[in-house]
């Protein structure tokens, strides 16, 4: 068998998505036992992590396996480019690290979500995809600037638990303010899976914070084929009206990707892009979702985050269950 990677939600068919989520629901209700006994997952984090790191460790332990955690402090600076003349700061090529680690572990999970230059460069996910190319074990994308597929799996599972069927349900994916430039990963992956599920999606953001054009157009086509739709709205109040799910998330400007200072200046006039009680009242009694961490009273108020419609902790809890299903799919 050729090895299987999990790098993007765009790679999933509807049947594969349903299979993963059905398995996640089964393992949530009853632990599957020591099905991955003797297996080791290597986790490589080049940025901080709370939910992703802990949920993967819990998933492996509950399945009978174990994890080895590595941070940027444990790793040499890596060169992902092919045929690079390595006379700069990079101490090791990705191919050498990937081939070595493949001799030690049964799968690799990698988070590499920092800005390294232009959007055209960062959207290529060079480090994660180079690992996938050279590793002989499955590679799991734990977040890049471009995608966060594990988060989106948990989000769709959470929506299915509360709405049962997602086809035709109204989702507003709303940009909200944040003092720091954030990854587009959760936004892109959520768009892709919501489209695959046939939801009626409204993507809401201020001008200048457009998502990747290719992701947008492909998601629009997938949504139409699945019986849903995708529209873009630049007015927050209009976008929230009638929503059944309001998914709040900040993301960086691809237009100013190489210039975070300029992005910060633009965001000074966007502090009103915040989820509060008034905005939630304009929805159709919407469920509130946010992938966490969240800047309270900047992205959303305490009242809505702690309110009865908030699912933020259910999303976080479901990370462990979808990851158990994913690990079983890749390693069993």
37-46, 72-81, 181-190, 244-253: least confident range: 72-81
Q: Answer yes or no: is 3 within a domain.
A: no
Question: 265 and 210 in one domain?
Answer: yes
Question: 242 and 98 in one domain?
Answer: no
Integer Cα distance of 240 and 169 in angstroms: 13
Q: Answer yes or no: is 26 within a domain.
A: yes
Q: Answer yes or no: is 14 within a domain.
A: yes
Integer Cα distance of 73 and 66 in angstroms: 21
Q: Answer yes or no: is 216 within a domain.
A: yes
pLDDT tens by residue, 119-170: 999 999 999 999 999 999 999 999 999 999 999 999 999 999 999 899 999 9
Sorting pLDDT into bands at 50, 70 and 90, what band is 1? very low
Q: Answer yes or no: is 180 within a domain.
A: yes
In Å, how far are 115, 196, 222, 293 from 324, measured between CA atoms? 30, 22, 27, 22
- pLDDT at res. 30: 84
Check if the beta carbon of residue 50 is closer than 8 Å to that of residue 293. Answer: yes
Sorting pLDDT into bands at 50, 70 and 90, what band is 31? confident
Tell me the residue range of the domain where 58 lies. 9-148+319-331
**pLDDT surpasses 70 at 2:** no
Q: Answer yes or no: is 1 within a domain.
A: no
- pLDDT at res. 209: 97
Q: Region 8-32: what's the mean pLDDT?
A: 94
Question: 29 and 161 in one domain?
Answer: no
Question: 159 and 244 in one domain?
Answer: yes
pLDDT tens by residue, 71-129: 878 888 899 988 999 999 989 999 999 999 999 999 999 999 989 889 999 999 999 99
**pLDDT surpasses 70 at 13:** yes
CATH number, position 243: 3.40.50.1370
Its sign, for the CA torsion 325, 14, 8, 263, is negative
- pTM score > 0.85 for this model? yes
Integer Cα distance of 232 and 304 in angstroms: 24
The residue among 70 and 53 whose pLDDT is bigger is 53
User: Left (φ > 0), alpha (ψ -120 to 50) or beta: where does 11 sit?
Assistant: alpha
In 168-253, at which residue ranges do the beta strands (DSSP E only) sit?
Answer: 170-175, 200-204, 229-233, 245-249
pLDDT tens by residue, 263-319: 999 999 999 999 999 999 999 999 999 999 999 999 999 999 999 999 999 999 999
Q: Domain tally for the chain?
A: 2
Integer Cα distance of 235 and 331 in angstroms: 45
Measured between its terminal Cα atoms, the distance across the chain in Å is 13
Check if the beta carbon of residue 242 is closer than 8 Å to that of residue 283. Answer: yes
Question: 157 and 60 in one domain?
Answer: no
Identify the helix (H) or strand (E) that includes residue 179: none
- pLDDT at res. 71: 80
60-69, 71-80, 192-201: least confident range: 71-80
In Å, how far are 36, 60, 167, 268, 282 from 55, measured between CA atoms? 16, 9, 28, 35, 34
Question: 127 and 221 in one domain?
Answer: no
Q: Answer yes or no: is 2 within a domain.
A: no
Check if the beta carbon of residue 240 is closer than 8 Å to that of residue 204. Answer: yes
């Amino acid at each position: 068998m050729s090895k299987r990677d999990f790098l993007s939600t765009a790679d999933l068919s509807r049947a594969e998505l349903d299979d993963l989520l059905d398995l996640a629901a089964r393992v949530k209700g009853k632990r599957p036992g020591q099905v991955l006994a003797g297996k080791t997952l290597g986790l490589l984090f080049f940025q901080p992590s709370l939910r992703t790191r802990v949920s993967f460790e819990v998933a492996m332990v509950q399945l009978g396996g174990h994890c080895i955690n590595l941070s940027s402090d444990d790793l040499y600076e890596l060169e992902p480019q092919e045929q690079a003349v390595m006379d700069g700061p990079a101490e090791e090529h990705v191919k050498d690290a990937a081939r070595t680690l493949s001799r030690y572990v049964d799968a690799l999970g990698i988070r590499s979500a920092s800005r390294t230059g232009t959007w055209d460069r960062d959207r290529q996910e060079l480090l994660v995809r180079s690992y996938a190319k050279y590793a002989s074990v499955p590679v799991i994308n734990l977040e890049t600037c471009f995608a966060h597929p594990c988060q989106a799996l948990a989000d769709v599972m959470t929506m299915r638990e509360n709405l049962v069927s997602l086809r035709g349900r109204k989702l507003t994916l709303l940009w909200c303010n944040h003092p720091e430039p954030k990854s587009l990963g959760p936004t892109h992956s959520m768009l892709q899976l919501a489209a695959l599920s046939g939801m009626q999606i409204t993507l809401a953001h201020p001008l200048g914070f457009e998502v990747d054009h290719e992701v947008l157009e492909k998601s629009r086509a997938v949504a139409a084929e699945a019986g849903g739709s995708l529209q873009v709205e630049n007015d927050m109040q209009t976008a929230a009206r009638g929503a059944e799910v309001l998914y709040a998330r900040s993301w960086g400007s691809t237009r100013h990707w190489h210039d975070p200072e300029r992005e910060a200046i633009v965001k000074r006039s966007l502090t009103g892009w915040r989820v509060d009680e008034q905005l939630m009242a304009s929805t159709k009694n919407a469920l509130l979702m946010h992938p966490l961490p969240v800047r309270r009273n900047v992205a959303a108020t305490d009242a809505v985050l702690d309110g009865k419609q908030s699912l933020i902790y259910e999303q976080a809890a479901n990370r462990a269950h979808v990851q158990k299903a994913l690990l079983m799919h890749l390693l069993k």
